[in-house]
Amino acid sequence: MRSPCEDHAAEWWHANEERGADVIDLADALAAVARERFARRRQPRWVDPALATLTHDRFSDPGWIFEPKFDGERCLAFRSGDDVRLLTRNKKRVNDTYPELVDALAAQQAGDFVVDGEVVAFDRGVTSFARLQRRIQLGDPAAARASGVPVYFYVFDVVHADGYDTTGLMLRERKSLLRRLLSFADPLRYTTHRRADGENFWAQACRKGWEGVIAKRADAPYQHGRTSDWRKFKCENSQEFVIGGYTDPRGSRVGLGALLLGYHDAAGDLVYAGKVGAGFDERTLRRLGGELARLERPRSAFARGAPPRSGDVHWVEPRLVGEVSFTAWTADGELRHPRFRGLRRDKRPSAVVRE
C-alpha cells in the first residue's frame, strides 16, 4: 500500500495532468498514421534512450510540455509475448531487482511494446534515489519483494507498439498512444505533464522538494541520445561523478572517509572535482568501502587536479559512478558542500562529463 505522503505526491502530479486529451483507439491510431510516420518493424532488442540536456534557462512555451523530473533509475521495458525485459540505460537487466514491475508489465493486455520510464521509491512524499539504493543492490526477487521498499515505474514514452516503430510520431501523439497502450495501476504509473507553463511548474516542483522538471518539445520525434528537444530544469545542482579514490575512515567511522571524484573532459581525461564525505549511512560505508578496496591501483587515474597521494589516500580503478548533490562549483573547479546520494549503475564512467 502507498503511504499518505505518496498518495499526496501522486495527487499533486495527477492534478497537473493535461485535461481533455483525445481518447483514441489504439488500432485506429496505428492505422491513421502508419502511412506517414509509422514504420512497420519487428521489436528491437535494444534502443538508446533519449536524454535531456541541462539548462539554467527556465521557460514557458505553448510548444513544449513539462513533466516531473524523478530521482530514480531510468529503465526501458520490453514486452514481447510472454517475455518481459526491464533494462537500465546501460543495458543491465533488472527483472530480479524489480519483480513486481515485471509482473505488472506481463499482465498488460498489450503483448508487444517498448516503453520508457523511471523506477522510483518514495521517502516522505518525494522520490528518493537514496531509498531506491536499498532495492538497486538486491538481485534476488524474494529479497526484493521482502525489502520493505515499494517501487513504482513512471512511464513517460512509447517507442514501439503492436509491431510499429513509434519514434517518428510527435511527442504529444506518443503520449496519447501510451495512455491507450497500457493499463495504469500501481506499480505502473502514467507520467502526467503540464502544457506551456514551465516556469511556474518548476517553481512548484522545487517547493514540493522534487528533483525538478523535464521540458520536452511537443512536436518532436523520439530522438536517441542527448538532445536539445528534451531539457532538464533542476531544483539543485547534482550530477554523476567517477570515483577515482577514497580516504581512510577516522574515529568511529567505518569503511571509508571520503570519495575522490572526477569527470571526463573533452579529451577524455579524468579531471579531479573534489571529495565527498557526507551523505553516507553505515551500511553504505561498509559495502562501498569493501568494493573500492578490491579496485585499488598503485597510481592515480586522474589526469590533473588530484591532490598528491598521502598515507590515507587510496587510488582505485575508475569503474564506479556516484551521484552527488552540491551547492556550487568553486573557482578552483571543485565541488562546494557535496553530499553523496548513491551509486549509479545505469551510466558508464566514460560518459560522465561536467554538466
Q: Cα–Cα distance between 238 and 87 in angstroms, integer?
A: 24
Which residue of the set 69, 175, 216, 234 is catalytic? 69
Q: What are the percentages of helix, strand and coil residues in the chain, rounded to 5?
A: 20, 35, 45
E strand or H helix that includes residue 115: strand 112-120
Question: What is the CB neighbour count within 10 angstroms for residue 347?
Answer: 16
Using alpha carbons, select from 124, 125, 133, 70 the residue that is nearest to residue 281.
133
Beta bridge partners of 324: 239, 340
What's the burial of 1, exposed, middle or buried (CB within 10 Å: 0-12/13-18/19+)?
exposed
**Whether 50 contacts 223, CB under 8 Å:** yes
User: Is 76 in contact with 115 (CB distance < 8 Å)?
Assistant: yes
Give which of 252, 212, 271, 196 is closest to 71, Cα–Cα: 212
DSSP secondary structure string for all residues of 238-290: EEEEEEEEEE---TT--S-S-EEEEEE-TTS-EEEEEEE-SS--HHHHHHHHH
Sort residue 252 into left (φ over 0), alpha (ψ -120 to 50) or beta.
alpha
d(CA 235, CA 44): 35
What 8-state DSSP symbol labels residue 81? T
Is residue 234 among the annotated active site residues? no
Q: What is the dihedral of CA 14, 17, 23, 28, to 10 degrees?
A: -100
Burial class of residue 269 in the structure, from the number of CB atoms within 10 Å of its CB (0-12 exposed, 13-18 middle, 19+ buried): middle
Task: State the cell numbers at 127.
Answer: 522520490
Query: Which residues are marked as active site?
Result: 69
